[in-house]
Amino acid sequence: MSDHHLTTDDMAVFTQLRMTAFGQTIIDIANDSSYDDWTFSHKIHHALDIELAARAERRVFKLLKASHTPNPAACVEDIRYLPGRTLTRDVVDRLASCTWVENASNVVILGKTSVGKSYLAQALVNAACRKDYTVGYWRLDDLGNRLAVYQPSDPGGLKFLDSLRACDVLVLDDFLTTPITMATTSKLLNILASREGRGATIVTSQFDPEDWYKSLHDAVIAESILSRLVSVSEIVQLDGPNMRRETHEPLVPDLS
């Protein structure tokens, strides 16, 4: 029996088996003399490691795309700890571990405009996706507009609401920057109530929680929303330089 030497012509089989990275690595090894001293087991383990890493990367990409985060590239590794900035590496490392997601608790990020609240939220989305959590990212104004489109009996609306209830992490960016309608307030309470004890929420806001009442129409509903978001949460109070003026930390157009 003649020895069949692996070449790129064999990639079709690996692709059919959905093991593209493994196949490419095996072909590379077979055609590179620098691997000749490796044992067969070493070669296979190396190719498997490459395949697993590629699958994990594809999974993270898929989760980030599904999250609709405006900046998928945002990551905790790129956060800058500048003089005068209250954000510390210890806080970021703790949040990036995603224990709060596992415990279905919340992260409330507060601070004036341009201190990097949204970027931190987007970096935590990235961290959560790396740990295989599902995320839904919404500016509150956009979410309110989307909720207003659907009627209670609309199948599309029900599916959308289910997606908000079911995701592991729900991000509410720019929370109450502008007042929201009574209908949106009620729907938001229902979403948060259904997620209680089951999902985690990230909120970014320019306003402290005690000021949220001014943008909510019903005192009872406002108290219920406030309680659900703040009572089981870590509050991150950001202060420091205007991050829009810093050129080294990747920023998105709106960091309010």
**pLDDT tens sequence across 39-83:** 888 888 877 777 667 777 788 899 999 999 999 999 999 998 888
H runs (alpha helix) in the chain: 11-16, 20-30, 40-67, 89-96, 99-102, 117-130, 140-149, 155-166, 182-195, 219-230
Least confident of 133-142, 162-171, 176-185: 176-185
19-32 pLDDT, tens digit each: 776 777 778 787 77
Residue 253 clears pLDDT 60, i.e. is over it = no
Most confident of 87-101, 147-161, 225-239: 87-101
The SS3 of residue 97 is: coil
What mean pLDDT value characterizes the chain? 83
Token pair for 106: 């919340």
Q: Give the whole-angstrom CA distance, residue 135 versus residue 125.
A: 7
Token pair for 80: 């800058």
pLDDT at residue number 3: 54
- Out of 3.20.20.140, 2.60.120.380, 3.30.565.10, 3.40.50.300, the CATH code matching 68-245 is 3.40.50.300
* Higher-confidence position of 178 and 123: 123
Whole-Å CA distances, 220 to 61, 108, 185, 191, 233: 40, 21, 11, 16, 20
Give the start-to-end residue ranges of the domains of the chain: 8-65, 68-245
